[in-house]
Amino acid sequence: MEAIYTLLIYMCGGDAAMIIYDHRRGEVIDASTGLVVEQHAIDPGPEWRSYRPGARRCHVMYRGEPGALKFFKSLIPRHVYEDAKYIMEKLGLGGRAGALAAIMYSCKRFGVPFNQELLRLGGVDRGRIYRVYRRLLEELGPPPRIDDAVLFQMVSVAVRLGRPWLASMAATIYRRLREKYQGYRPATLAAVALMKSGLPAKEASRLLGVPPSTLSKALKNIGG
């Protein structure tokens, strides 16, 4: 049996899209284009990031930090810093030009405004930074939109629970939380948003792969 509902006006420029959930294939499909926006429901793992098999959960905690990137550590959100560090390690980037290009890419990826003051503090010619940034685009492609992926994840959760109206309410709350609490992982804020929309904490933790202790701490800091 398929659950069909209208939602996701946030990502469709104002016009609502008809979304179809195919429970047999585990797919969420845009009915107007046939685009499969999500497969196999959600990733039940503990992290939103993609690391090699067996890698430790946090690069920042367990490996050395690029010196150039460390210079900007206190000036950017932690999740942006972690992502930029991973990019620099993956592509073998170095220097402040590489650090700033990685930060710019990560900011776009997370929808975090890039602070132009970083360019002044870095003391690097902008042409060098943008040349490295172009290399990032060639190697990694345009920055994927994490927020869209998280919103689709919430849609899938709501549909599987047979409560699609939760997704609309949770998406509104999630966007408000993302603007105010940029230091939290998107999955954690999504779990908080679903809880504030009426989903029990245990279910939100399990379905979004957020450890109960992490969710409890976030709720305490955010409120609710």
Task: Say if residue 75 is in the same domain as residue 123.
Answer: yes
Number of domains comprising the chain: 2
Instruction: Give the range of the structural domain holding residue 77, as residue numbers without chain letter.
Output: 59-140
| Strand ranges, E, within 35-165 | 36-39
Residue 62 Cα to chain centre, angstroms = 22
For residue 28, the cross-strand partners are 21, 38
**Beta carbons of 154 and 175 less than 8 angstroms apart:** no
pTM above 0.75, yes or no: no
Question: pLDDT class for 102, splitting at 50, 70, 90?
Answer: very high
Task: Say if residue 86 is in the same domain as residue 151.
Answer: no
Going by C-beta distance under 8 Å and a sequence separation of 6 or more, which residues neighbour residue 165?
158
Task: Say if residue 64 is in the same domain as residue 35.
Answer: no
Final residue in a domain of this structure, among 116, 140, 164? 140
Residue 15, domain CATH: 1.10.472.10
Amino acid at 213: S
Final residue in a domain of this structure, among 140, 173, 203? 140
Angle at which helix 146-160 crosses helix 165-180, to 10 degrees, equals 150
For 176, the token pair is 């408000």
Which residue, 180, 186, 164, is CA-closest to 223? 180
Rounded to an integer, the average pLDDT of 10-30 is 57
Task: Say if residue 94 is in the same domain as residue 70.
Answer: yes
For 92, the token pair is 């073998």
Final residue in a domain of this structure, among 140, 158, 185? 140
Within a domain: 50: no
Within a domain: 107: yes
For 165-188, write each residue's pLDDT tens digit. Answer: 777 788 888 878 877 776 677 888
pLDDT at 100: 93
Question: pLDDT class for 159, splitting at 50, 70, 90?
Answer: confident
Percentage of the chain modeled with pLDDT above 70: 66
**Beta carbons of 181 and 219 less than 8 angstroms apart:** no
Task: Say if residue 201 is in the same domain as residue 165.
Answer: yes
For 120-133, write each residue's pLDDT tens digit. Answer: 888 889 889 989 99
Task: Say if residue 120 is in the same domain as residue 84.
Answer: yes
CA distance 66 to 178: 27
Which residue, 127, 74, 68, 51, is CA-closest to 102? 68
For 38-95, write each residue's pLDDT tens digit. Answer: 665 444 444 444 444 444 444 443 344 457 888 888 888 887 888 899 899 888 888 9
Across 10-24, 144-158, 197-211, the highest mean pLDDT is recorded for 197-211
Task: Say if residue 132 is in the same domain as residue 154.
Answer: no
Run of H or E residues at 20: strand 17-22
